């Protein structure tokens, strides 16, 4: 989870997780979905992502980082995690 601010809104970004009920379908329990929780509005939003994405995982660490010293170009850094495959 990452806590960040965007246009005055406080957001919580959640990537992946674990769901035992999907094992019969996928032979895995790790998820690769991304959701954003808007703390100010008390609302969840699931994002549809396309292109290259990290593999599904749980028990990982994710943090926000800035690519340049002007704090304008930002991204996420994800470390570790478990995937049954």
pLDDT tens string, the chain, 85 residues long: the values are 566 666 778 888 889 999 999 889 888 999 888 899 999 999 999 998 888 888 889 999 888 887 777 766 577 888 899 998 7
pLDDT at 84: 85
> What is the per-residue pLDDT for 4?
67
Query: What is the count of structural domains for the chain?
Result: 1
CA dihedral 50, 51, 55, 56 (to 10 degrees): 0
Q: Which domain holds residue 37?
A: 2-82
For residue 30, count other CB atoms closer than 10 A to its CB: 22
- Helix%, strand%, coil% for the chain, nearest 5: 10, 55, 35
pTM: 0.72
pLDDT for the residue numbered 3: 64
Question: pLDDT value at position 2?
Answer: 65
Report the distance separating Cα 70 and Cα 65, nearest Å. Answer: 12
């Amino acid at each position: 989870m990452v806590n960040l601010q965007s246009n005055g809104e406080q957001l919580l970004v959640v990537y992946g997780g674990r769901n035992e009920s999907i094992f019969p379908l996928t032979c895995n329990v790790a998820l690769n979905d991304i959701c954003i929780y808007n703390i100010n509005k008390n609302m969840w939003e699931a994002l549809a992502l396309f292109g290259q994405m990290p593999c599904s995982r749980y028990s990982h660490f994710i943090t926000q980082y800035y690519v340049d010293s002007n704090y304008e170009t930002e991204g996420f850094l994800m470390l570790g995690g478990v995937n049954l495959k």
